[in-house]
Structure 1
Amino acid sequence: MLRGGKVGLRARHEDDYPVLRDEMYNDVVHSSRSSTNPWRPIPVGAKDPRLEAEGKDDSIVPFAVVDLTDDSLLGTASVWGIDRHNRCAHLGIGLRPAARGKGFGTDAVALLCHYGFVVRGLRRLQLETLADNTAMLRAAERNGFVREGVLRANAYVLGEILDEVVLGLLADEWPQPPPA
């Protein structure tokens, strides 16, 4: 497990999936705002394609975000679109409703940066988020990400066309925390 100040990143466990499904994936608004695909219901007992792909694609590294005080599941995080040749990737997080607004996202982004730059040896990390997602913008910028542009009218979310912000961070610009 990767450990930060507040959260840890570990592999997702089988018992995480029902919680993630109930609190995040089945929340139409959250799911629509966090995915480029339209929301659709998955019947109980059916295989969820968002979870079935885990471990089958080397360009995606999925994590569970856990609270270090009690190991409770806070949400998900991933490094995805890993390009080994150009040594770059994207990252993203999603927190359960009860975990939002407590600084867990900033710590999770820091750990994803550590994973990308230190563990994987990447030279660039990027994230895209809706322009009104102030929590993610704040978490990224607190970790050194720089706004690189706006993708105007790039996201369709529940009948609205929204802008997305692209943020990037280079390994040599990363405000790396001192070693423990």
Structure 2
Amino acid sequence: MLRGGTVGLRARHADDIPVLHAELYDDVANTSRAAGRPWRPIPPGSPHAQFVVDDTEQGNEGNVPFSVVVLAGGALIGTAMLWGIDPHNRSAHLGLGLLPAARGKGYGTDVVAALCHYGFAVRGLHRLQVDTLADNTAMLRSAERNGFVREAVRRSSSRVLGTYLDQVVLGLLAEDWQPAARG
């Protein structure tokens, strides 16, 4: 398990999937904002559910999913991922989703820090990128607190429930990363 200050990133367990599906995926507005594609109903237990992990090497080439837990007690509070991993350019995107009860408690900043540690220290990546909606102040704040710099605004580039929204691109290079002290 990767440890942050208050959260851990661990492998996805089978019993995480129904919780993540019910609390994150079945929230149509939230999923529409996060997924970049139209929401569609997927029944619980489907092998095509968003949070089912293909743990074969081939299935995980470009994506590394984690479940997010609170270190004190191990409660599941969300999901995190490095995705779009490009081994040639040594870059990846990162993303996270916290359960509604875990939002607004500072966990997002710690999750981003743990993902940076994984990307830079464990995987040896050169660049990490965050792509988020311009009104996602929690993600913008979590990324910027970890040293990410706003690089671009893609105007009206994301269609969410019939409305076009701006998307912000933030980047962090390995040489600019300031790792948190880890015990």
Q: Taking structure 2 as the reference length, what is the TM-score of the superposition?
A: 0.95
Alignment of 1:176 with 2:179, yes or no, is: yes
Question: Which is further off, 45-54 or 132-141?
Answer: 45-54
Aligned to 1:4: 4
| d(CA) in 1 for partners of 2:29, 2:158 | 14
Once the two structures are superposed, what CA deviation does each residue of 1:131-161 show, in whole Å capped at 9, x if it has no partner? 0000000000000000000011110001110
Match 1:134 to one of 128, 133, 137: 137
Once the two structures are superposed, what CA deviation does each residue of 1:8-61 show, in whole Å capped at 9, x if it has no partner? 000000000000000000000110011111101112343234234533131100
Q: Taking structure 1 as the reference length, what is the TM-score of the superposition?
A: 0.96
- Consecutive unaligned residues of structure 2, counting only runs of 5 or more, are none
| d(CA) in 2 for partners of 1:66, 1:129 | 23
The percentage of counterpart residues that share the same residue type is 62
Moved over 6 A (4+): none
Aligned to 1:17: 17
| d(CA) in 2 for partners of 1:148, 1:100 | 26
Q: Taking structure 1 as reference, are residues 67 and 85 closer, same or farther at Cα in structure 2, changes over 3 Å only?
A: same
Once the two structures are superposed, what CA deviation does each residue of 1:98-144 show, in whole Å capped at 9, x if it has no partner? 00000000000000000000000001000100000000000000000
Secondary structure in structure 2 of the residue aligned to 1:41: coil
Aligned to 2:84: 81
Indicate if the aligned counterparts of 2:17 and 2:52 stay in contact, CA closer than 8 A.
no
Secondary structure in structure 2 of the residue aligned to 1:48: coil
- Cα offset, 1:177, TM superposition: 1.9
Q: Taking structure 1 as reference, are residues 125 and 158 closer, same or farther at Cα in structure 2, changes over 3 Å only?
A: same
Once the two structures are superposed, what CA deviation does each residue of 1:66-104 show, in whole Å capped at 9, x if it has no partner? 001110000000001111111110000000000000000
Alignment of 1:92 with 2:95, yes or no, is: yes
Aligned to 1:115: 118
Match 1:63 to one of 60, 66, 70: 66
Aligned to 2:50: 50
Secondary structure in structure 1 of the residue aligned to 2:29: helix
Question: Which is further off, 48-57 or 80-89?
Answer: 48-57
Give the CA RMSD over aligned residues: 1.1
| d(CA) in 2 for partners of 1:91, 1:166 | 11
Question: Which is further off, 29-38 or 135-144?
Answer: 29-38
Indicate if the aligned counterparts of 1:54 and 1:62 stay in contact, CA closer than 8 A.
no
Q: Taking structure 1 as reference, are residues 17 and 100 closer, same or farther at Cα in structure 2, changes over 3 Å only?
A: same
